[in-house]
Structure 1
């Protein structure tokens, strides 16, 4: 249970759309900016790029090309500034979006997986369970139950 709470808190750090501070790196100030606690402009660009492209097949190399930086150096910088590696950040953003999509009872879990950039539904379920301690279907049931009890 503590792991579920811990992972939910970590996902909350990625609360998309509520920037903590205005972008200084030339990004559109009205664009979606994740509230990720970093001050480094390059890392904000990286997180913004991931947030906008999480549904695509993106890699550290493609992101490093986007910010004109060596992928090895960028990997170290991401870890230093955020405490997480590129894949962990990408996975968290994808899972956050998946949680939002799972609130729609008409969407199947495999559809949600594909929409967040994970092509293998089994892998999606495995990663989701690792982070939340339950499958996407169980998460949806719990979400629906909470919504009904709030009424």
Structure 2
């Protein structure tokens, strides 16, 4: 009987230990992704490719992509685009900067591609959006 209790006790300790390790791993993963989000938010005008981001936080691109999706419930590219579009929207309604300048500030090398992405995201060109929202 004592042997059985000893086995059950050992199994319980192993289970608890693995749960603690898993929880610590989740906390570390969440911390890494939150740090990555802060970096992205502060560097929207920079090259934010998966390769660039992986070199900054020393994790493989594949791992970052999977980890980001698990923690944020959104893929990395969608997050970056959403943040860039929100920043562009703010600049359009609060400044008189040209579309070309805004495109550069939010990380687009081509203003034509920026206009296309903005239209896909908001349903309006940046000029139309500005005209409707800054009266």
Structure number with higher relative contact order (C-alpha < 8 Å, ≥ 6 residues apart): 1
Q: After the TM superposition, which residues 2-151 of structure 1 pair with which residues of structure 2 at under 5 Å, given as runs?
A: 40-145=30-135
> C-alpha distance in 1, partners of 2:61/2:119?
30
Q: Which has the larger radius of gyration?
A: 2
Report which stretch shifted further, 77-86 or 132-141: 77-86
> C-alpha distance in 1, partners of 2:35/2:94?
30
SS in 1 for 2:114: helix
Gaps of 5+ in 2: 1-26
> C-alpha distance in 1, partners of 2:45/2:60?
23
**Which residue in 1 is equivalent to 2:5?**
none
Q: Deviations over 1:105-150 (max 9, x none)?
A: 52111110011110111111111111111111111111113xxxxx
More helix by share: 2
Root-mean-square deviation (CA, aligned residues, Å) is 1.8
TM-score, normalised via structure 2 length: 0.73
TM-score, normalised via structure 1 length: 0.66
Q: Deviations over 1:45-88 (max 9, x none)?
A: 11111111110112111212222211111101111222222211
Q: Which runs of 4+ in 1 moved over 6 A?
A: none
> C-alpha distance in 1, partners of 2:109/2:59?
28
